[in-house]
Structure 1
């Protein structure tokens, strides 16, 4: 977590964290349905962004990320 993070900054990180998880979920579904390596890479990128945002912020982990490492 970032030191001296304001509540507004924390909400900002949390919102982007949730958006990244939404994008990961969509990319995973598309990768599964199409077998596209581009969608699979988009999934990995979105999960990486979500993990970084979670590490920076101070909020609860979304249940969709339960299987992902911090």
Structure 2
């Protein structure tokens, strides 16, 4: 993502990442993605992240001990 953003940002563009049907059963992948996005945001890169799912599933994900970044976001 960093390499792609370097090219896009020269043109005043960025990346929008969407994740639908968030489920706790895929928590390892969500953790990896959220960690990468968190680093990009810290670096002030032009990136946005949108995720959706059933309310109970989203609650389980944002209340995960490792994913406090998503709760704050």
Q: Normalised by the shorter chain, which TM-score bucket?
A: 0.3 to 0.5
Q: Greater share of strand residues, 1 or 2?
A: 2
Q: Give me the TM-score of the superposition, normalised by structure 2.
A: 0.39
Q: Give me the TM-score of the superposition, normalised by structure 1.
A: 0.40
Q: Greater share of helix residues, 1 or 2?
A: 1
